[in-house]
Amino acid sequence: MNGRPEPRELLYEGKAKQVYACDDTDVVIVRYKDDATAFNAQKRGTVSEKGVVNNAVSAMLYAELEAFGVPTHFIEQLSQREQLVRRVSIVPVEVIVRNRAAGTFAVRYGVDEGLELDPTVVEWCFKNDALSDPPMNTATAVALGLADELQLEAMFEYAADINDYLSARFAVADLELIDFKLEFGIDAAGELRLADEISPDTCRLWDVASGEKMDKDRFRRDLGGVEEAYQEVWRRLRETQGLPLDLPDHDEAEFEHQHLHELDELDGDDAPGALDGPGGLDGLGAERPRPGERRD
169 binds ligand ASP per the rule CB under 6 A: no
Cα gap 220→44, rounded to integer Å? 9
Cα gap 177→203, rounded to integer Å? 7
**204: partner contacted, choices ligand AIR, ligand ASP, none (Cβ within 5-8 A by kind):** ligand AIR
| 31 neighbors 7 (Cβ within 8 angstroms) | yes
Among 28, 31, 32, 37, which residue sits at the site for ligand ASP (rule: CB under 6 A)? 37
127 binds ligand ASP per the rule CB under 6 A: no
The CA distances from residue 287 to 90, 151, 153, 154, 158, in Å, are: 22, 11, 10, 8, 12
Edge-to-edge strand list for the sheet holding 82-86: 10-13, 17-21, 27-32, 82-86, 74-77
Residue whose Cβ sits closest to ligand AIR = 103
**203: partner contacted, choices ligand ASP, ligand AIR, none (Cβ within 5-8 A by kind):** ligand AIR
| 127 neighbors 96 (Cβ within 8 angstroms) | no
39 binds ligand ASP per the rule CB under 6 A: yes
| 165 neighbors 65 (Cβ within 8 angstroms) | yes
Q: Which is nearer to ligand ASP, 154 or 229 (CB)?
A: 229
183 binds ligand AIR per the rule CB under 6 A: no
The amino acid occupying position 9 is E
264 binds ligand AIR per the rule CB under 6 A: no
- Min. distance of Cβ 233 from ligand AIR in angstroms? 13
Q: Which is nearer to ligand AIR, 89 or 132 (CB)?
A: 132
Which part of the chain contacts ligand ASP (CB under 6 A), choosing from 38-46, 118-126, 142-150, 229-237?
38-46
- Min. distance of Cβ 286 from ligand ASP in angstroms? 29
Among 96, 121, 141, 198, which residue sits at the site for ligand AIR (rule: CB under 6 A)? 96
| 260 neighbors 122 (Cβ within 8 angstroms) | no
- Min. distance of Cβ 37 from ligand AIR in angstroms? 10
120 binds ligand ASP per the rule CB under 6 A: no
State the binding string over 197-226 for ligand AIR (x if CB under 6 A, else -).
----xxxx-----------x----------
| 275 neighbors 232 (Cβ within 8 angstroms) | no
Segment holding 4, helix H or strand E? none
Cα gap 28→84, rounded to integer Å? 6
Which part of the chain contacts ligand ASP (CB under 6 A), choosing from 1-9, 33-41, 71-79, 245-253?
33-41
Query: Under DSSP, is residue 279 helix (H, G, I), strand (E, B) or coil?
Result: coil
Q: What is the CA radius of gyration of the chain?
A: 19
State the binding string over 215-234 for ligand ASP (x if CB under 6 A, else -).
-x---x--------------
Alpha-carbon torsion, ordered 79, 41, 36, 181, to 10 deg: -70
Q: Which residues are at the interface with ligand ASP (CB under 6 A)?
A: 15, 37-41, 216, 220
Q: For binding to ligand AIR (CB under 6 A), which residues are involved?
A: 96, 102-105, 179-181, 201-204, 216
